[in-house]
Structure 1
């Protein structure tokens, strides 16, 4: 079996094991379906609340981890290994004198070990990488404090007198759905305490797992050295590509060919590395830059893509097994031969005439010809018109104005 086939098979097996684990806990015990599933997974029908909680959380985690496994993430492989071992141990601990409990989970763990060489993708470089831990602790502390407050202020008619240590232990165990040392006189308060604790406990694990495993969008950055190299490539080879200058957007990464004669700028969105337009530089060196870009994608487990390419660019990208989809064409107006004469331009002539009568004047100037005050005013007007900090567009927008040498058209 090839590496791609092995990864795909492991991904679906992981989803299946996680789904069956969840079903075995969620479906009522009296149903025949649960009996079959529980028997196949080695889950006892009389599982304790704590064990059911563990199985439920691990099952959901396996389903979430499948996406990371599909992208060959090393971290996802490590967590899937730990989850399958925990699931297997929970089976072994809950059933005695049974030879085969947890065989499915053990089989998944063995399969992961045998195919570990395929899961080498690095974690996505993101800011705030400990956010998952902060969320996990915040939810656990919140659940603990809420339960502790309810137990501390509950009247004696519903709760036997207990020490602070007992109430703290009860609140902590409730996060696992387990009863503690506190003695309740009414069932509803015990159920409420367990429900609140279990809700925050499950929420802490699942929400933290979401932040840990989500397809991140690394914070892009172009250094001044990168911008300088890109400007050199644009000065030498930028005339053929009207979209080349937009490679200097601040929200992109860049990777250069080994010769430095070509570069690919890109941004990571939801696990896909999207390159903008054609590579920059000498077209003969494009394959080298694309190879470096694809290597970065392989190392991080990103899906490579490119948008806004020319016909030549699409041809080169297709040599690296990317599918090509034609979604539009670039409209180019030749200013030297453009004219308003003729019947087909009648509507345009009328619009121009109305604009002139309204007193509008069009001025085309370079940034260097504007005073700082006027440039600041134009930037404020542009920001107000956009209505947000981010200018819409990726390969055909710059996200800023006022670059040296740029042309501004005002009316």
Structure 2
């Protein structure tokens, strides 16, 4: 009898150790988020101290005084930098020997960097953009993971190399700005360069070298040198964007390149979204003695707008243009439209984040005097005060809606339309902010043009923000607080400020707006962190079972017959044509296989399952899914992680003739000499042989010191066995082995589930049974035989492969004491099958590891069952 959910959770909790290390492991995500907020707070305090002599008006004046020639040059170098960035992906695809049209690659890479540079955190990272786009363009998850790893490694190594080369050339100029002697700067740079050169030299021909038990395979010299040039061009161009905005003569360009590279590196290492505050602090700290700080701050604001926001707007313009019917109907735009449709929601979500930050920051900064004077003539003070406060809250609401846009919720689309319209009106009423209104109008146009993409009918208010989103929300609040302190640093605080209502009382207005945003953000955080408790899921009713069996009989996937076990819950699509069978362990809702039913019903059903799991405070997991559905899982925000490979035999070509079948022919001949007799018992006759089958099953379990499994494997259950035919082997008139056969009405595929034999069965009985069963199914008109999955098989060990793959490969090579990974694949290889990858689809971070553990416990029937055979 299955254990209750509360017992399952208690069983897991009993294994938890006591002490600070287990505490750190359990709360790693929360501690990391707190660390990010602490870092931004420290850097905020540092930049507040560094700008002690600077006034807000001075920064505005410096910003307004920037020449249009400098702005045009900055835009030009931004375009050159993004052109270089596209060649990271080109090089990665060339390295993994995959070819895609450059237009598709360039669009994907540009959008990935536009989102990654602006958002800079997990849900809206460049990796998510690449995963959604490249999966639609035909790349498998392994290839996409290698592309992401290659791009990340290439940028990191290139950044280190460019920084060190710059320090060697201009160390004496950088030393006074960093507080280190030029000699030691050059020594550090030389050591780092020597290490990089040694590693690249060792892999110059693309050969692998080992470090302990790990194998690292580096690109060849041609690829490495090409990627270094790409990185150098990218960093040189992006550094020049900021350099041309700085006051003339502030610092030499080579020295500035070194400082810029260091600032970018620290921003990346800080894990603060977009390096916000960290990058600015390093630039101000190193250049503050060489130029006016107000001019540097003005240049940094322009740099953020030109290099971060402008590419995002351009990417949206391009993709929205592709979405238009006139362009989408052009043959040359078809593949671009296919890729762009996957990226538009993420681009709009990122723009929503930018606009939310804009609304919050505008609420804590003063309105120009001439705008206030204009408003005083036409609008009453209560309306201005109310508009100012409500606009800040709309910024918070738009941040929350951004996540729904990324998930393509129809409710999020309507909410974004409403928020943008109201915010646009309020931006005019509170400050006559034409630039702010223009950005909101652009956002509205993008939403209207992409309406068809937001079709998921989910509750927006049921969406709890995940930890990365809450961290980003905390960064926005801290940033607004630092800006408020900077802008009104000359205003002495008093409690009376909260109650001052005048047109000229800007500081009180900013205080009230920040308080509203902070209270609202705290409420959202508390709501999101206090997830609903995981609830038990209802088992499938008899009526549900009948509906599911009727659906699977018309499909080609024989493994779907595992629904007959009755140990899984069933979720049907809205139209009733497809279903998902699933179970729960801990906080994971684990769906077994792809949805069963017509593929056109998959997307909505996948999303329905994910949404229902989340509404119950659980993670959605899809176990053993095929490549056929990867684009749908990617579109739902999940990532695919390889589990192993499924073996399929083409029965139309199955014939035990020729040299490669010699071993199997020998086993079949030996079985015949040993007196083995094969037959298939139809479902109606299975009850008569159940006692003999039960005796064989009990003996098999005792001999292997095993226990019954479940979920993705059938158990010896009489009600389950009588639903399908059973293949049996007899020896001297007695049954010595059996396997229940899984079939559907389409005769496309056959498979087996339980495979058990008596200890007295002749050696090689399973080989004999499988060979005879394949001959039988071929004669019955079946086209494929599913031999099942070989766990961890086919995982890549390349240096550019994801950590998941390399860890799985290592466990496959050295984990024989836990499971016979290689033996299982060797057994199935006897039948010369075609191997197809199978995946675990889950969200990123630690979720795949936790999900795989929960799936393992679900299959084993608990922790004790999972560690037994």
Q: Higher relative contact order by CA 8 Å / sep ≥ 6: 1 or 2?
A: 2
Higher helix content, 1 or 2: 2
